[in-house]
Amino acid sequence: MKVVKIYMLVFAGAIISASVSAQSHYPGQHLDKISLKETVPMKAYAFDLQDIKLLDSRFKENMERESAWILSIDVNRLLHSFRTNAGVYSGAEGGYDTIKKLDGWESMDCELRGHTTGHILSGLALLYASTGNEVYRVKSDSIVKGLAEVQNALKQNGYLSAFPQNLIDRNIAGKPVWAPWYTLHKIYSGLIDQYLYCNNRQALDVVEKMAMWAHQRLATVTPEQRKIMIRNEFGGVNDSFYTLFEITGKPEYKSLAEFFYHEETLDPLMKQVDNLKGKHANTYIPKLIGLARAYEIGEPEKNKTISEFFWNTVIDHHSFCTGSNSDKESFFEPDHQSAHLTGYTGESCNVYNMLKLTRHLFCIEGEVKYADYYEKALFNHILGQQDPATGMIAYFLPMLPGGHKVYSTRDSSFWCCVGTGFENQAKYGEAIYYHNDKGLFVNLFIASELTWKAKGLKVRQDTNFPSDETTLLTFETQKPVSMPLYFRYPSWATSGTIVKINGKPLKVKQNPGSYIIVDRSWKNGDKLEVTFLMKLQLNPTPDNPDVVSISYGPIVLAAKLGTDGMQKPAPYSNPKLHNDYYTYDYHVPATISNVLNVKGKAVTEWLKPIEGNPLTFKTANIAEGKELTFVPLFDLHRERYVVYWKLK
């Protein structure tokens, strides 16, 4: 019944999302495993995730909660639907009946079943890289081994899935089906990540067989069938095939990637047409990640042009103050944010994918605007989507005044955003540092330690940002390293900066929205201290100057509004309903208002910091209404909030 309901939604145009996920491969990474290097010069290269270790912070705490959850899900539970599909129940725990099955989107009647196993392969690979802890690799090996057994048992030319091939047949025939290529993409990517991050050769062997199956299966598809098939959500499967092409150099994988070029959607972008309105956001976004990667490995300039136009369009015309986008999963008309303050804004997978696209475009262009967006979306959306009490994940980030985050449940959700969450929370180290052929970029202010092997250099970043405005870098090196350091001077830091080297002030020539360049010979023990002064700011929506969000530095603030009217199972999703986030009734009490009688007054007149509580503010001098407390939205959990205000 559920699935039938889903078909109806799909064909009514109100698509319940699957989402793309699994890691993308960025320039400069995994050089020992890539046979085709980038042929286009990059402005910046990524480090391997294993070279960055998180130090104590809220980010690390999130990662540890995610880790505990991943490790608690038994391998046999992750394999049972695959084994069922192949007719084998070889779990060490015994037969099929003894395994506690995953529910929600992993239940046996859900057409997306199996996607979580792919996400978890990626999540475990990222956790292994982030921490070096063998426990993640050992668990990964068991899953990969189990999948290899299933692939052999299926005996279908390398096909491997938790559902039968007839879902693919239905997709090709244009018959109703949810999103089989989307789900396969998760498994492709999970296995690729296992090879790249954990050096698991068996994973590469299994995924190559899967790709060769795809090559054979799609060889007989007619152009007309192809056109219909790729209208359906296929995630970032093109990106996975490009990555396999890079690893192996086999042309079949490149043709597979190109097979999934979706002309109908992408060609208008070449003509600089904003065709986003009404499109399912997370079906759309991942198509661009593959294109950006294609450009990096030498495919035509068109791929870059399209990706950049899309990114600019989403950021400039379709995003909320948190860096998230969409209402009920679809893009709306450009610059109409104030008309879409609903309980169904900002699917987490969309942000996950925008961040991946952002990383590619930063490598290509090296522009600070990409790093600014990364910070905005990482702090305001991704970090706050995990419930600190339980580690559960919110699908949407509601902008509805008086709404609240609705979290998944442990065994009965397994939504797409839970899947991407397994990865989001495992890779906070990945976009802090980049390098070019000369020096080092510091893009994010997150407590961490970078080991740059090629330079014989360690850089430790101590910071409690954003609670603290200062970041301290300490250099550790056997011999002095001459190089420029590019320290991001964020666009929001319009109150200026204080920079000190070994305690001595340094004159800064650059402006916000650029890089502070410190070019010198870095010696062991050198310290660079950078402070960016934050200030309160009102951010009007483009369609209504009297509807505003409030930020402090890069951090979006929201008013804490308590739990009145929140009915159980709130703040959790109802475990009996797989998709209730999509129609969730927030029961917002009539007493909650987002009107502020402060029009024309400077924000500093009516919003005052609470001493001793960083990032916390209280209203003052407001003629009517009760006093409100503002905290970072990422820190606001299990209660109602308001992000956007109407000024009167």
Interacting residues with Zn ion (CB under 5 A): 19, 347, 349, 416-417
Beta bridge mates, 440:
435, 485
Q: Is 555 exposed, middle or buried (0-12, 13-18, 19+ CB in 10 A)?
A: buried
**CB crowding 437-474: b at 16 or more within 10 Å, else e:** eebbbbbbbbbbbbbbeebebbbbbbbebbeebebbbb
Query: Which is closer to Zn ion, CB of 49 or CB of 417?
Result: 417
Residue 78 or 416 with smaller CB distance to Zn ion: 416
| CB proximity list for 172: less than 8 A, separation 6 or greater | 221, 225, 228, 229
Least spacing, CB of residue 395 vs Zn ion, in Å: 6
Instruction: Please state, in angstroms and rounded to a whole number, the distance separating the CA atoms of residues 44 and 360.
Output: 9
Burial of 510 (0-12, 13-18, 19+ CB in 10 A): middle
Which residues, 6+ apart, have CB-to-CB distance to 563 below 8 Å? 638, 639, 640
Task: Tell me the closest approach of the beta carbon of residue 416 to Zn ion, in angstroms.
Answer: 3
* Distance of closest approach, residue 17 Cβ to Zn ion, in angstroms: 5
Alpha-carbon span 599 to 113, nearest angstrom: 51
Based on CB atoms, which residue is closest to Zn ion, 210 or 416?
A: 416
Can you give 217-261 as a three-state secondary structure string?
A: HHHCCCHHHHHHHCCCCCCCHHHHHHHHHHHHCCHHHHHHHHHCC
Q: How far is the CB of 424 from Zn ion (least distance, A)?
A: 11
Q: Can you state the angle between helices 348-365 and 281-296, rounded to 10 degrees? A: 20
Quote the least distance from Cβ 282 to Zn ion, whole Å.
Answer: 6
Contact 550, 557 (CB under 8 A): yes
Q: Residue 191 or 349: which CB sits closer to Zn ion?
A: 349
Q: Is 263 exposed, middle or buried (0-12, 13-18, 19+ CB in 10 A)?
A: exposed
Cα–Cα distances in angstroms (integers) from residue 4 to residues 8, 9, 11, 575, 632, in the given order: 6, 9, 11, 19, 40
Contact indicator for 367, 422 with CB cutoff of 8 Å: no
Residue nearest to Zn ion (CB): 349
At residue 187, what is the residue type? I
Q: Report, in Å, the least distance between residue 418 CB and Zn ion.
A: 8
Q: Closer CB to Zn ion, residue 86 or residue 112? A: 112
Q: Which is nearer to Zn ion, 146 or 419 (CB)?
A: 419
- To Zn ion, the closest distance from the beta carbon of 392 in angstroms equals 14
Min dist CB 279 to Zn ion, Å, is: 15
Q: What is the DSSP letter of 340?
A: G
Q: Report the nearest approach of Zn ion to the CB of residue 328 (Å).
A: 12
Q: Which is nearer to Zn ion, 348 or 491 (CB)?
A: 348
Q: In the bound complex, what is the minimum distance in angstroms from residue 643's beta carbon to Zn ion? A: 20
